[in-house]
Each structure stands twice: as structure tokens, then as C-alpha cells.
Structure 1
């Protein structure tokens, strides 16, 4: 499937980028990140226009985010039944709900590009939890800008070696994920100490 999509980029690049990022934001298993790397390589060779490719990929992601949010907001019960049909979906949905409760809008932002497997489920969870639409849209748009720019840029820069671009993207995101976990633990530790000191003062 992946090779077929990549080979179709030269002829259907703009529409294909839109559809791929759109469906990826609805938990459809399509290789959106890899396809954007390939699109970046096609931009480098002049087979695709940079501005059009960026706009198509970003528009698809933003539209997918909005549809996912609305599914969660207007179809809570059917969504819950659908997610509960398999353990994998139920587990991802539960993780996303807990993640959203802990991080709110920042969680939406990070799930676009850093913790991207959670992204579609965060869309559903945000709508179901009643996260304000303006807040969801703002953080989602900021995160999608980073995701699309990162992968198109790496594909452009490593046009002759997409495997290296993919590996580099994974390494970068892994490093950022580790730093985020350290930061998150530091924030939790700081809050815990503050609560502990406040309790001690009351006593």
C-alpha cells in the first residue's frame, strides 16, 4: 500500500496528501508521515510545488481534526460502543482521555506531532469531554503546523535517502518525547512539593 501511494504522488500529489492526512486524523491506518517525507523529496526534485503540498497536507489534517472533534461531541454513545469493540481501541481511547485530563490544550498540541498515535483519539476525546472548540482548534492547528513542516522539510532535506529521513524523524521525536517526560515529571514534582508545603503550613 505504501509503495503504491508513494508512486501515485507524482500524479495525484496534492489531492493524495490532503486525503492521507485527513484520514490519519480519524484513526484510519494510512502512512501519512512517510507520505509527507516522500512529498518533501518530490518537492526537492521539482515534481511537486512546495506551497501547494504544504497547504494540502495541513488542510487535510485540520479538517480531519475538526471532523474527529465533532464525532466525539455529537456521537458520544456510538463512539464509546465502537471503541469498546476491541481492546486496542478501548486502550487507546482510555489513554487519550487520561492524557487530555492531565494536559488539556497542551496535550492536544503535543499529540499532533510528538505523541501522534494518540492524535486521532485525542480528537474524539476532546469533543466528548467538551473541550472548548476554539481551544482545541488553536492547539491542534499549532501542532499540525509543526507535524507537516517537520516531515515535508526532512523529506526535502534528505531527498536522496528517505530511510535516513524517517530514522532521523524517529530519533528526533524520541528525544523530544524523553525530554517531555522529564519536564512533565519535574512539573508534577514541583506541584507535589507545593501541596505538601501548603498542607504542612496549615497543620
Structure 2
């Protein structure tokens, strides 16, 4: 799937980037970071215009974040419970909730930059927990700008080494997801211990 999407970047350009980034913000398994990097490489080669690529990625990010936030705000607890029933998302969701409870709006920013695999879940949780919309939007937009600049610039500046950079990022994403799963497990165990302690 990744190779197919990458092959479509020169054909559909900024529209593909915008749609991919928006959908990845909704927790769909789309390699948006690789697509933005590849698009940056195409911009370096002159096939795309860099500032248009940057705006497309940012528009997709902001739109995806807002959709996730408003879906969860409207759906609330049932939506989070549905996500929590799937084994993979349940662990990441626990890690995202732990991060959000400990760091608040800083968690929103971090989940759009260095902890980007947690981003969609933090977005859903922010809506479900009814974080202030304007404050969520400001923190999410700041993180989105940072993310879009970082990945598009990596592709633009290192166009000939994108495959190596992508491998490095994929390995770090695996590490982040493992850490998120560990945080989620810790949160789940702590919650169970507290409930048992209160019952006793």
C-alpha cells in the first residue's frame, strides 16, 4: 500500500498529501509522514511547489484534528469505549490518556510532534474529555506546523536519502508505540490496583 501511495504523489500531488494527512489524524493506517517526506523530495526535484505542499499538509492536519475532536466531543464515551475494545488501539489509547492526564495541552502538542503515533488518540480523548476547543486547536495547530515543516523539509533537504530516513523513522515509531503500550498497561494496572484498594 505504501509503494502505491508513494507512486501516486507525482500524479495527485498536494491533494493526495492533504487527504492522507487528514485520514491519518483519524487513526487510519496511512503512512502520512512518508508521503509528506516523499512530496518534499518531489518539491526539491521541481515536480511540486514546496510552499503549496506545506500548506496542503497543514490543511489536512488541521482538518483531521478538528474532525477527530468534534467526533469524540459528540460521541464521547461510546466512541472511546469502541476504540478501547480493539487490542492494538486499547494499549495506545491508555498511553495517550495517561499522557493527556499528566501533561494537558503540552500532551496535545507533543502528540503532534515527537509522539505523533499517539496523535489521533489524544485528539479523540481531547474531544471526549471536552478540553476547551480553542486551547486544543491552538496546541494542535502549533504541533501540526512543527510536524509539517519537519517532514517536508527532511524530504526536501535529503531527497536522495529518503529511504534511509524513512527506515530510521519507522524504527523510532515502533519504539514510540511500544512505549505507549507500556504506559497504557501501567495506567490499566494502576487503575485496577486503585479500584481493588478502594473496594478493600
**Shorter-chain TM-score tier:** 0.7 to 0.9
Tell me the secondary structure at the aligned position of residue 131 of structure 2. Answer: coil
Q: Distance in 2 between matches of 1:169 and 1:36?
A: 13
Aligned: 1:153 with 2:149: no
Aligned: 1:36 with 2:41: no
**Residue in 1 aligned with 2:195?**
none
**Residue in 1 aligned with 2:49?**
49
Q: Distance in 2 between matches of 1:71 and 1:94?
A: 19
**Residue in 1 aligned with 2:122?**
122
8 A contact 1:54–1:152 mirrored in 2 = yes
Q: Distance in 2 between matches of 1:172 and 1:121?
A: 18
**Residue in 1 aligned with 2:164?**
164
Q: Provide closer, same or farther for how the CA distance between residues 173 and 24 of structure 1 changes in structure 2, counting only shifts above 3 A.
A: closer
Count of residue correspondences: 175
Q: Distance in 2 between matches of 1:78 and 1:171?
A: 33
Q: Provide closer, same or farther for how the CA distance between residues 16 and 66 of structure 1 changes in structure 2, counting only shifts above 3 A.
A: same
Q: Provide closer, same or farther for how the CA distance between residues 146 and 92 of structure 1 changes in structure 2, counting only shifts above 3 A.
A: same
Per the TM alignment, residue 173 of structure 1 is displaced from its structure 2 partner at its CA by 8.8
Tell me the secondary structure at the aligned position of residue 27 of structure 1. Answer: coil
How do 1:7-156 residues align onto structure 2 when only pairs under 5 Å count?
Answer: 7-156=7-156
Q: Which runs of 4+ in 1 moved over 2 A?
A: 164-174
8 A contact 1:114–1:173 mirrored in 2 = no
Q: Provide closer, same or farther for how the CA distance between residues 63 and 154 of structure 1 changes in structure 2, counting only shifts above 3 A.
A: same
- Name which one, 1 or 2, has greater alpha-carbon Rg: 1
Q: Distance in 1 between matches of 2:43 and 2:140?
A: 25
Unaligned runs of 5+ in 1: 178-203
Per the TM alignment, residue 80 of structure 1 is displaced from its structure 2 partner at its CA by 2.8
Tell me the secondary structure at the aligned position of residue 52 of structure 2. Answer: helix
Q: Distance in 2 between matches of 1:89 and 1:123?
A: 13
Q: Distance in 2 between matches of 1:87 and 1:168?
A: 26
TM-score, length-scaled by structure 2: 0.82
Per mean C-alpha deviation after superposition, the further-off stretch among 57-66 and 87-96 is 87-96
RMSD: 1.9
